[in-house]
Amino acid sequence: MKWLLVPFLFFTHWYYTPLESPSNPVEINSIDLNLKKTELAMTFFSLSDGEAALIQHPNGKSVLINSGGRDTKQELINLLNLYHVKQIDTVLLTSDKDCCVKNLNWMIEQFSVRSLISGRSVAQALQHADVTDQAMNVQALNTGEQWEVLPGVVVKVIQDNEGMDLVITFLNQRILWLNQSNLDPKTYLPEGEATPTTIVKLPGRLSEEFVSDEIMKKLDPQMAFFFPENRGEINNDLLEQLHHSWVRVFHNHDKGAITVKFTENNYEILKITDEKK
């Protein structure tokens, strides 16, 4: 896989760092992803607490996966402003833990959220969201069910137990979002000649079986993401196996974001931090 870097950046006190050719960070004031019809962007926010990721569609609509943790409202505002996001069309909740739902009520009001999606095990979180707007579309999905969250972007629930594990598909991209550490790895493998996995978002601790050579070969992920909330729990054996399998690992240590812009046949990556290093 060839690594390409986005050429179009320019936020006060935000810095773009080239990933492939080390050089001095470049200060930027905004990011225009300029998405074409067959493109999609997924941005993993690195917050001081909790997890959140943003999916942006070329039609201007967006989906936020989880809403971050405690005391991260201003961080979210800064990052969403950086990416020119004024409205969140859908919030997708994968867990009812504070790391995922702490800002939910505020997010609904602040960004005019129109739709909420969760698994059945997270439905209780929606009861505390104070959703009174009759126009709000609320979907609670069962294991095996799927939903088109954006045109051409389909979310399927693989498992819904202690949080919801998902597969997100778009064109020839497959994104695996995992919350549970006690996993049957075969549950998450692509079927037949299905699209290999581009990104896998992992919990900190996984069984050795999950990261075996056989499983990693079948999954064939290009990137793995961990959020700060579980960074201290990351299994060193897991990291070693991921590196051994030529998987690029992102810990999200620094406040900021990592964006993957999917094109029709490839993807581009950019890293944004709030410090000039």
- CA 270 to the chain's CA centroid: 14
One-letter-per-residue 3-state SS of the chain:
CCCEECCCECCCCEEEECCCCCCCCEEECCECCCCCCCCEEEEEEECCCCCEEEEECCCCCEEEECCCCCCCHHHHHHHHHHCCCCCCCEEEECCCCHHHHCCHHHHHHHCCCCEEEEEHHHHHHHHCCCCCCCCCEEEEECCCCEEEEECCEEEEEEEEECEEEEEEEECCEEEEECCCCCCCHHHHCCCCCCCCCCEEECCCCCCCCCCCHHHHHHHCCCEEECCHHHHHHCCHHHHHHHHHCCCEEECCCCCEEEEEEECCCCEEEEEEECCCC
Cα 181 to Cα 84: distance, rounded to the nearest angstrom: 35
Cα 248 to Cα 201: distance, rounded to the nearest angstrom: 12
**Other beta carbons within 10 Å of 102:** 20
Cα 67 to Cα 258: distance, rounded to the nearest angstrom: 16
Total length of the chain = 277
**pLDDT exceeds 80 at position 84:** yes
Residues 6+ apart with CB under 8 A from 132: none
pLDDT confidence bin for 182, thresholds 50/70/90? low
Note the pLDDT tens digit of each residue in 217-240: 777 788 888 775 555 566 677 777
pLDDT confidence bin for 39, thresholds 50/70/90? very high
Cα 85 to Cα 94: distance, rounded to the nearest angstrom: 21
**pLDDT exceeds 80 at position 22:** no
**pLDDT exceeds 60 at position 252:** no
Cα 108 to Cα 89: distance, rounded to the nearest angstrom: 9
Query: What's the confidence (pLDDT) of residue 262?
Result: 92
* Out of 85-99, 142-156, 226-240, 242-256, least confident range: 226-240
Contact yes or no for 111/86 (Cβ under 8 A): yes
Q: pTM (2 decimals)?
A: 0.86
Cα 239 to Cα 84: distance, rounded to the nearest angstrom: 34
Sheet of strand 173-177: strand arrangement = 146-150, 153-161, 163-170, 173-177, 199-201, 223-225, 248-250
Cα 188 to Cα 110: distance, rounded to the nearest angstrom: 35
> Percentage of the chain surpassing pLDDT 90?
35
Note the pLDDT tens digit of each residue in 130-168: 654 556 788 899 999 999 999 999 999 988 887 888 999
**pLDDT exceeds 70 at position 29:** yes
Of residues 197 and 17, more confidently modeled: 197
**pLDDT exceeds 90 at position 64:** yes
**pLDDT exceeds 70 at position 9:** no
Which tokens belong to 182? 């006690």
Average pLDDT, the chain: 80
**Domain 4-273, CATH 3.60.15.10 — does that match?**
yes
Q: What is the mean pLDDT of residues 41-53?
A: 91
pLDDT confidence bin for 172, thresholds 50/70/90? confident
Query: What's the confidence (pLDDT) of residue 219?
Result: 75
Of residues 243 and 30, more confidently modeled: 30
Is the Cα torsion angle 248, 251, 252, 254 positive or negative in sign?
Answer: negative
> Percentage of the chain surpassing pLDDT 70?
73
* Out of 17-26, 136-145, 179-188, least confident range: 17-26
